[in-house]
Structure 1
Amino acid sequence: MAYEKELELALLAVQRASLLTKSVFSSHSKGTLTKSDASPVTIGDFGAQALIIASIKHAFPEDEVVGEEDAGDLRANDSLRDLVWELVQASKLEDGAAEDRIGGPIKSKDAMLNALDQGDSAGGRKGRIWALDPIDGTKGFLRGGQYAVCLALMVDGVPTVGVLGCPNLPVDDKAPLDSSIGADADSGEGKGVLFSAVKGEGAQSRPLGKGALQEAQKISMSPLTNISEATFCESVESGHSNHGDQANIAQRLGITKPSVRMDSQAKYASIARGAGDLYLRLPSGKAYEEKIWDHAAGVVIVREAGGEVTDAYGKPLDFGIGRTLKENKGIVGAPKAVFPKVIEVVREVLNAKA
């Protein structure tokens, strides 16, 4: 299997980081979202990113990482640094062999800070670059909704390995997708999934465990033939996606089900396993640029599950020009069989506004 070592490392590292985020949510009071405080999202972001980058650098020291965070705030704030260090030290897989394969515990505070700062790659078209979002779906994380720990390996600018840790999604791939999934979720019994894919080798899901990896099963997009029966997913935040345009598109496609709104790349995971069908994230403003870490892992997984993902105009997503998808506007994901029709209607709606 191609990229076998990379996939195992990504799965174990995301699993360990996901467990850290779960511990943060359950044990720390909710705070504001400034990077200088000790809110759960802040310490969860720092801790998860440090763990994952340390694992990548242990196994593949020459690889680069595009990460969302850096260690600036921790270097300037002793109490915040100590809090994140305690979390990182406490976050271990229960299986010793699995823990060893991703480098074991981080050895010191300086090593933790250095790991965080190694997420500073500018991206590009050459070489091996990992795209990392330690907590995708900040507001979902804070309110107990959907969020994801996201990691993808890009090879010469092409997303090639993708892993998503979704602690609040149901393990059952056949669980119905409805409006309740985006709010008041939890990571209780029957929840927590790792999704993964390698380019050319299909997509899988497995329960999020605490030690060695659980058994995986193949996932695939819904065999949708009647597009009017589709369920479509969209972002909770209107600042990320134009809800009005998306409702118009759904109407033109004959879709009568209400949209399912959830945060994070959990949307990609949900359509990849057939719980939903379409993902619409249409431009909410001309200046907004999508970040590569918000899409790289999900794109690999959806494509390997039998779907297609492009921008809102049908252009391929270009992950090789830096830290953003600045040459693309919007995101559309759907099963390949209906994708041309979806893109046709999306273009009609967007062109009517031009």
Structure 2
Amino acid sequence: MAIVIHNLRSAPITHLSAVHRRSFATSLSSPRRFNVRANLLPFPEKSSKYYKHLEAAVEVVQRASSLCVDVKSSLFSTDDKVLEKNDNTPVTVADFGVQALLSLELNKLFPDIPLVAEEDSAFVRSRNLAGTVLDAVTTKASSTSKPLTQDDVLKAIDRGGKDAFVFGSKPATYWVLDPIDGTRGFLKASKALYVVGLALVVEGEVVIGVMGCPNWQEDLSEKNPAEMKEHTDSLSGSGIVMIAHIGFGTWTKRLNSTSNLPDVWTRCFVDGFDLVHKARLCLPDSQTWESLPLSSLFNATSDADNVVNNQILVLTACCGSLSKYLMVASGRASIFIQRKKEKTIIKSWDHAVGMLCVHEAGGKVSDWEGSEIDLAADESGRRLIFPSGGVLVTNGNLHHKILQIISQTSTV
């Protein structure tokens, strides 16, 4: 069976003023279509070096996203599935279950590639939650010769923990996983976004990435009836999975199909804005507009229907960093900017997969001085990154302009 792969522009989001819509429309290219066989990635295996890794990553992230949906469905009726970490960051059994599931599956296929991930099993052990996590993982794990045990799950979680592997200064190949980026969003009854993010890093460079966002909704408000039907057919259902392979672009397809239609991959591109005051910006949930360098030159508004001169439209996108990368890579936002706070540690798994997805969609990621993010700076664990000033993610057109503003305001 053949599937259609659409190489399409991203649709503008619902809340754009007429000025923003007109500017956005001028930057979009015409669609192109390709036919390939079903169940394949949207580029040829023979020319993509990490095809098998990406194929496996897509499969396991889709299952992990399904695990999240299943756990969330009982979240507000089962008390023991809503937990608190010692640092008061909300976390769920799904968080540990996703890490265990991906660790188990990736270790079967690529046993020589270590895993760098957010969690370890200490919390699960201290609260006697291994059985609950095991139940969640068992429903999604591939078949094995013998049933999984609680010990299997605990070891799988710890395989990605901070003490699991010491890298040193030599170039390394490893997976980077954020089991649920935006756990606060996961715990909300609303449609706040959360993301399962997985990347493969080879010698300091992200080469493949997969993000599963179970509650992403495609915007169809700006499409004509024919485009709306086409997009509804291609992305109907709940959520999306976004993939990127170095040199082969960024693509999305529906995560959970609600129809019998074949899977359709859609090519993603960043938006085409080249004027700062007409861009759409995301910022971290914990930071304010006033904390950013742009606030010295522009005002901000979240009211898309009433954007006036010298105002930047700030989009609300709870929660986590990866949902903002997803928005920039899909063309829904133009900028994501994060200030590095004093005494705040920035983790590699909050950025690695998003960096590749934005880059392959035509965007750019750097620190506030314009330098690339160094994933190998934390030589021992590859868990931390140290961007100077903060992290800047843009559609590429705006990158140098934002860097200039940062530089100018920092010297005042």
After superposition, give the CA deviation of every residue in 1:121-172 in whole Å (9 maximum; x if it has no partner).
3556522111111011121111141111111110011111111111121145
CA distance in 1, matches of 2:124, 2:411: 46
In structure 1, the residue matched to 2:195 is 148
Q: Which amino acid aligns with 1:206?
A: K
After superposition, give the CA deviation of every residue in 1:34-72 in whole Å (9 maximum; x if it has no partner).
3699x9833111100000111111110000111111112
The counterpart of 2:313, out of the listed 255, 258, 279, is: 258
The counterpart of 2:160, out of the listed 108, 119, 122, is: 119
CA distance in 2, matches of 1:105, 1:237: 45
1:8–1:247 CA distance, 2 compared to 1 (3 A): same
How far is 1:224 from its partner?
A: 1.9
CA distance in 2, matches of 1:51, 1:11: 13
After superposition, give the CA deviation of every residue in 1:174-228 in whole Å (9 maximum; x if it has no partner).
678xxxxxxxxxxxx7430111101111111111137999331110111223332
* Bigger mean CA offset, 305-314 vs 331-340: 331-340
1:66–1:146 CA distance, 2 compared to 1 (3 A): same
Q: Which amino acid aligns with 2:276?
A: I
Gaps in structure 2 of 5+ consecutive residues: 1-47, 223-235, 301-308
> Could you tell me the percent identity over the aligned residues?
29
SS of equivalent residue, structure 2 residue 410:
helix
Within-5 A mapping of 1:1-354? 1-29=48-76, 31-34=82-85, 41-78=91-128, 80-91=129-140, 99=142, 107-120=148-161, 121-122=165-166, 126-143=171-188, 144=190, 145-171=192-218, 190-209=237-256, 214-238=263-287, 243-245=290-292, 248=295, 251=298, 256-262=311-317, 263-264=319-320, 265-283=322-340, 285-322=341-378, 323-352=383-412
Contact 2:299 2:311 in 1 (8 A): no
CA distance in 2, matches of 1:210, 1:132: 25
Contact 2:294 2:405 in 1 (8 A): no
In structure 2, the residue matched to 1:181 is none
CA distance in 1, matches of 2:351, 2:176: 9
Which structure dedicates a bigger proportion of its chain to helix?
1
Tell me the TM-score normalised to structure 1 length: 0.83
Tell me the TM-score normalised to structure 2 length: 0.72
Aligned residue-pair number: 326
How far is 1:350 from its partner?
A: 3.3
In structure 2, the residue matched to 1:184 is none
1:142–1:106 CA distance, 2 compared to 1 (3 A): farther
* Bigger mean CA offset, 308-317 vs 189-198: 189-198
In structure 1, the residue matched to 2:36 is none
CA distance in 2, matches of 1:105, 1:206: 34
CA distance in 2, matches of 1:105, 1:251: 61
Contact 2:237 2:256 in 1 (8 A): no
SS of equivalent residue, structure 1 residue 69:
coil
Contact 1:161 1:297 in 2 (8 A): yes
CA distance in 2, matches of 1:147, 1:246: 27
CA distance in 1, matches of 2:290, 2:173: 36
Contact 1:17 1:51 in 2 (8 A): yes
CA RMSD of aligned residues (A): 3.0
Contact 1:278 1:332 in 2 (8 A): yes
CA distance in 2, matches of 1:330, 1:27: 37
SS of equivalent residue, structure 2 residue 274:
coil
* Bigger mean CA offset, 199-208 vs 249-258: 249-258
1:104–1:341 CA distance, 2 compared to 1 (3 A): farther
CA distance in 1, matches of 2:53, 2:404: 37
CA distance in 1, matches of 2:297, 2:112: 45
1:48–1:35 CA distance, 2 compared to 1 (3 A): farther
Gaps in structure 1 of 5+ consecutive residues: 93-98, 177-188
